[in-house]
Structure 1
């Protein structure tokens, strides 16, 4: 079990973002482009895990590289894996695992919520839209926050 996960979403050139994943063992960096709804899809996938789905996935496209997150929920824990794929249409077995971590679902959801709260604070919603090219994923963030509050255990 990890002692903590930190996720940082940083906007770069228009339509590009870097996502840094850190835990007590390692740090890795992913890239996402806005050709897909990466932030919305990521928040929705985490919401599904919090709501009890046992497996869900999300993919960041980095043109042509892709980063595929695979979440497995096991009781109150979630195992997260990130595969780097040469092409987004590749099967999982063609990818290279570049990050994996196991955490409590509550701890993981808090890390994701904190990440996007920091994004909103750093860029503001209009600044986010200007750099990313799409609106801030407020609806998906608030859905995750609601599910997290509903499903967290004291």
Structure 2
């Protein structure tokens, strides 16, 4: 699976999710801390939570990510909602996939490493309007490394 986070007009990002079978594209606005919340949701999943979610606001549309974990498998659903306060069952599923938790963490870390490489942290702040989510990215990276190499193995 590949995730890309492309900075567009000031305060907007285009996100693409793709694998061998499908592709979904959607936008996020900086009115919420979408990158930080996204990285934190994935980190919580890696740390062992069985369900977590995050929402991207596209004013007025919203994209709700719902993550589930069982053992080392994760399931991802992305719902498109006409309004961010709508219940899940009012959304349209635009993405669904199952993958190993390591593949998910790797895809998310790679996505934001590429953003940092492309824009630099100050360039990111200039385009997005907020600081690069370095703290959340490094927290996820540490959890992922611990998950892959338990007890310093």
TM-score range, shorter chain: over 0.9
| CA distance, structure 2, for counterparts of residue 112 and residue 120 of structure 1 | 13
Asked if residue 13 in structure 1 is aligned to residue 30 in structure 2, the reply is: no
Residue 67 of structure 1 and its aligned partner are, at CA, apart by 0.1
Indicate the residue corresponding to 1:79 in structure 2: 75
Asked if residue 67 in structure 1 is aligned to residue 68 in structure 2, the reply is: no
* Aligned Cα root-mean-square deviation (Å): 0.9
| CA distance, structure 1, for counterparts of residue 19 and residue 148 of structure 2 | 21
Residue 24 of structure 1 and its aligned partner are, at CA, apart by 1.2
Aligned residues: 150
| 4+ long deviations beyond 4 Å | none
Residue 30 of structure 1 and its aligned partner are, at CA, apart by 1.3
Provide structure 1 residue ranges, at least 5 long, that are not aligned to the other structure.
none
- 1:58-115 per-position Cα deviation (integer Å, ceiling 9, x unaligned): 0000000000000000110100000000000000000000000100000110000000
Asked if residue 115 in structure 1 is aligned to residue 115 in structure 2, the reply is: no
Indicate the residue corresponding to 2:131 in structure 1: 135
User: What pairs up with 1:90-129 in 2 under 5 angstroms?
Assistant: 90-129=86-125
